[in-house]
A and B are shown apart, each in its own frame.
Chain A
């Protein structure tokens, strides 16, 4: 199995070395016209690892998520899910192969209820066909009942089980982010991608979210890769971190490594310096 493991790309070289990584990227890159948004992106995420992707605004983090979930086709490189090449997969197939995500700019089904949003996530867990549905066959009732119970369980992770009949669009911002996580979890992934899950949350909500993320990893035994600007959250729960700047990985390692890395400090401070200069002019 060691052939799957490349210590140069791993966020956690010493852990899970004997297992197939749940996700692996090799020299992934994408250009938008003349702009190289992501280049030479290498990363390995182990099963049940909580990994972080950080970097200044516009660094290419969301673009990486869009590559991983096949919203964009990479210009270069390859990506593997559980050892399987995803070259010919669509967004739909990638989800079926075990990758689920949330979105930086929330994409809920706003006019549908909270429960319906989760049930859409559970779509492929239900197995009745169109004819079963039209004739309300026993299969239909059974699958719907089980799915609703499951949705209820998933919502209770965030204590949202009583909001089932509310319209998703009417939820407060923080709950909308949590509902997106529940919907993603409902698709039964082996790796969950969270794009700025704490954005717009207050410090107490954020610390609850940190507990929830750890809880989700422990209960579902899945890997979690998250993008976040909140350094307390990232340093608090991520076991491995990759820092992106101008579409390239500039540093990789444990939270301690990253905090003390001069290149990282320069990237963040450099950005601040640039901004400050921009303001002065």
Chain B
């Protein structure tokens, strides 16, 4: 097929323009008071889950491991960020940025600490170790009331998670992981999923790349945790139960393991649907697990690779294709 090739700088320009337009539009709509409080919270929550899903997709989809402790990294970041924000050491956007960075870095450190031993194991064992980690984190938080508020929860967290803050984080997260995956480092991560022995025989340090995937994934999970805290205003250890890890994994699997676009769409659908439905019918939440199971069965029957497969969407590709069609149309016209 003839491609209407767009030069790289132009492509980057188009994408940058679309992103800025999206952020501005969203900012104006949410600030303009066009939406209710519940809707604003929902939009923020969707952003948080996009970050969680896209970051989990790195080890689960691209690296091909099965971590079940994403909620643990999220919890670490949430409490780290919230405690910093509550301390009031800084003010304004400086405080927001530093709090998010602290959340990410602390979670990434946990990612390395868990990743180094866990990644020596394979398959089921890695799943079990990370699952255990998530639960241990929750129990620790529960038992440190002087720092974390314990089971009572951590209250009066400054509500820093505005549309602007959350969606800038969404964009940074997606961009960083996209740029990473389209580099030699990303190819190394994919090749580990495809064949580990062959990757090693190409002289690639597989342990390093596994731990790196874990650390980057945990970093963004930590940031998502802090944004979650800044959205809710209150944190309870039970926010970060095993079910949270499963919720996130569900999004990634349904969207398509190894597809960033799938994770994004999955997060939008699976986060907003239950919240919208809840307004319609009280108590739908208790059927959530059944709905998940049914959804999963349906998707696995009709599209085992998830909604998007490994397909990744790019606006400039759409423009290129459209341009190609236009060019072809013109050529045909000329020939006739």
Binding site for B on A (CB under 8 A): 69, 71, 90-92, 95-96, 100-101, 103, 107-112, 116, 119-124, 126, 128, 130, 133-136, 140, 143-144, 147, 183-184, 186-187
Instruction: Say yes or no: B184 contacts A110, CB within 8 Å.
Output: no
Instruction: Say yes or no: B176 contacts A120, CB within 8 Å.
Output: no
Q: Measured between C-beta atoms, what is the minimum distance from A236 to chain B in Å?
A: 27
Chain A residues with CB under 8 Å of B201's CB are 69, 71, 91, 95, 100-101, 184
Q: Which of A111, A128, A143 contacts B310 (CB 8 A)?
A: A111
Instruction: Say yes or no: A112 contacts B191, CB within 8 Å.
Output: yes
Q: Which of A71, A95, A109, A123 contacts B184 (CB 8 A)?
A: A123
Q: How far is the CA of A134 from the CA of B173 in the complex (A)?
A: 11
Binds A, one of B135-143, B202-210, B219-227: B202-210
Instruction: Say yes or no: A95 contacts B202, CB within 8 Å.
Output: yes
In the complex, residue of chain B having the shortest beta-carbon distance to the beta carbon of A126: B184
Q: How far is the CA of A79 from the CA of B200 in the complex (A)?
A: 19
Chain A residues with CB under 8 Å of B191's CB are 109, 112, 120
0/1 string, B169-210, CB within 8 A of A gives 1 = 000000110011001111110110011011111111110000
Q: How far is the CA of A130 from the CA of B185 in the complex (A)?
A: 7
Known: A112-B187, A130-B180, A140-B183. Contact between A123 and B197, CB under 8 A? no
Can you add 4 more A-B contacts, CB < 8 Å, to A96-B203, A120-B187, A124-B204? A109-B198, A112-B194, A134-B179, A144-B184
Binding site for A on B (CB under 8 A): 175-176, 179-180, 183-188, 190-191, 194-195, 197-206, 212, 310
Q: Measured between C-beta atoms, what is the minimum distance from A233 to chain B in Å?
A: 23
Q: How far is the CA of A103 from the CA of B197 in the complex (A)?
A: 10
Q: How far is the CA of A140 from the CA of B179 in the complex (A)?
A: 11
Chain A residues with CB under 8 Å of B188's CB are 120, 123
Q: How far is the CA of A100 from the CA of B198 in the complex (A)?
A: 10
From B175, B190, B204, B205, residue with most partner A Cβ within 10 Å: B204
Q: How far is the CA of A25 from the CA of B95 in the complex (A)?
A: 62
Q: Measured between C-beta atoms, what is the minimum distance from B158 to chain A in Å?
A: 29
Instruction: Say yes or no: B194 contacts A111, CB within 8 Å.
Output: yes
Instruction: Say yes or no: B202 contacts A71, CB within 8 Å.
Output: no
Q: Measured between C-beta atoms, what is the minimum distance from B336 to chain A in Å?
A: 31
Chain A residues with CB under 8 Å of B200's CB are 90-92, 95
Q: Which of A90, A96, A108, A147 contacts B198 (CB 8 A)?
A: A108
A-B residue pairs, 10 tightest by C-beta: A133-B183, A95-B203, A109-B194, A107-B198, A91-B200, A120-B191, A134-B179, A107-B195, A109-B191, A126-B184
Q: How far is the CA of A84 from the CA of B198 in the complex (A)?
A: 23
Instruction: Say yes or no: B202 contacts A136, CB within 8 Å.
Output: no
Q: How far is the CA of A136 from the CA of B15 in the complex (A)?
A: 15
Chain B residues with CB under 8 Å of A134's CB are 175-176, 179-180
From B175, B188, B191, B195, residue with most partner A Cβ within 10 Å: B191
Q: How far is the CA of A159 from the CA of B274 in the complex (A)?
A: 54
Instruction: Say yes or no: A112 contacts B190, CB within 8 Å.
Output: yes
In the complex, residue of chain B having the shortest beta-carbon distance to the beta carbon of A169: B194
Chain B residues with CB under 8 Å of A121's CB are 202
In the complex, residue of chain A having the shortest beta-carbon distance to the beta carbon of B208: A92
Q: How far is the CA of A107 from the CA of B78 in the complex (A)?
A: 42
Q: How far is the CA of A101 from the CA of B202 in the complex (A)?
A: 9
Q: How far is the CA of A135 from the CA of B12 in the complex (A)?
A: 12
25 A-B pairs in the complex with CB atoms less than 8 angstroms apart? A71-B201, A91-B197, A92-B203, A92-B205, A95-B202, A95-B203, A96-B203, A107-B197, A107-B198, A109-B190, A111-B310, A112-B187, A112-B190, A112-B191, A119-B187, A120-B187, A120-B191, A120-B199, A123-B184, A123-B187, A133-B179, A133-B180, A133-B183, A134-B176, A135-B179
